[in-house]
Amino acid sequence: MIKIANVSKHYGDFKVLTDCSTSVSKGEVIVVCGPSGSGKSTLIKCVNGLEPFQSGEITVNGISVGDPKTNLSKLRAQVGMVFQNFELFPHMSITQNLAIAQVKVLGRKQDEAMDKGLKLLDRVGLKAQADKFPGQLSGGQQQRVAIARALAMDPICMLFDEPTSALDPEMVNEVLDVMTELAQEGMTMMCVTHEMGFARRVANRVIFMDHGRIVEDDAKEAFFANPRSERAQQFLAKIL
């Protein structure tokens, strides 16, 4: 579903990604972790074309992200992305937030988009909040809306960038529960997160990044039992 081959990216002399390669099969859940500044956000943003890269190749479902002929807005419509800070439209109601891209990007009718949005809102346990505005919801609720909004586009895979990092601790699980359900339903997911409990329960593989490189890419059992690099061992020792 996602293939990342020898991707490198630099800002001037600064190498933010160096020769990164991995792939994610259909239905697989990959957790990406590593220290702050190691390139995790940059890597997943490259996957849906939010960040350009200078060398290597990324394909999503066979479509080359770096190819100038690729229609990036069409690709992004198929790749759901959830950010740390929710990124909901503050001046729109929850239902409007859920409907807008369905109408503008996919050309769905307003009614159909509203219907689909409400169904997904129900699925994340927030049907009662439909007419509220983002600012009236808790962080955990806003993040669940953001996930529902991404799902409304019928994505072929989902990218998460530290979806629980901005949340108060008591709200983390309500978001992880939604992500766990999604994974169990077979969604292909690439999740940047430091929630190692989630990684242990849900991930198939864990990628560890350091200084722009993928230093470990292992089955989760192997990663947790015996990380190969010293850097990953130190990292795990600190956060577990």
> Which residue among 11, 73, 128, 185 contacts ligand ADP (CB under 6 A)?
11
Distance CA(228)–CA(212), nearest Å, equals: 17
- CB closer to Mg ion out of 118 and 190: 190
Cβ closest to ligand ADP, residue 137 vs residue 215: 215
Which one of 1, 7, 41, 150 is in contact with Mg ion (CB under 5 A)?
41
Of 17-25, 38-46, 88-96, 138-146: span binding Mg ion (CB under 5 A): 38-46
Residues contacting residue 38 through CB under 8 Å, at least 6 positions apart: 209, 210, 211, 212
Residue 230 contacts ligand ADP per CB under 6 A: no
Query: CB 45 → ligand ADP: shortest distance, Å?
Result: 8
Are 121 and 130 in contact by the 8 Å Cβ rule? The answer is: yes
The angle that helices 94-104 and 139-151 make with each other, rounded to 10 degrees, is: 20
- 32 in Cβ contact with 209 (< 8 Å): yes
Identify what 16 binds: ligand ADP, Mg ion, none; CB under 5 to 8 Å per kind. ligand ADP
Q: Stretches 18-26, 37-45, 139-147, 179-187: which one binds Mg ion (CB under 5 A)? A: 37-45
Sign of the C-alpha dihedral, residues 87, 39, 25, 190?
Answer: negative
| Contact string (CB under 6 A) for ligand ADP, positions 16-55, x = contact | x-----------------x-xxxxxxx-------------
Please measure the distance between the N-terminal and C-terminal CA atoms of the chain and give it in whole angstroms: 31
CB contact set of 24 (below 8 Å; sequence gap of 6+) = 1, 2, 3, 30, 157, 188, 190
Binding mask 168-197 for ligand ADP (x = CB under 6 A): ------------------------------
Task: Give the binding range for ligand ADP (CB under 6 A) out of 8-16, 96-104, 114-122, 180-188.
Answer: 8-16
The token pair at 21 is: 């390669």
Least spacing, CB of residue 84 vs Mg ion, in Å: 7
* Contact yes or no for 133/93 (Cβ under 8 A): yes
The number of beta carbons lying within 10 Å of the beta carbon of residue 153 is: 18
Residues that bind Mg ion (CB under 5 A): 41
Query: What is the contact surface with ligand ADP in residues (CB under 6 A)?
Result: 11, 14, 16, 34, 36-42
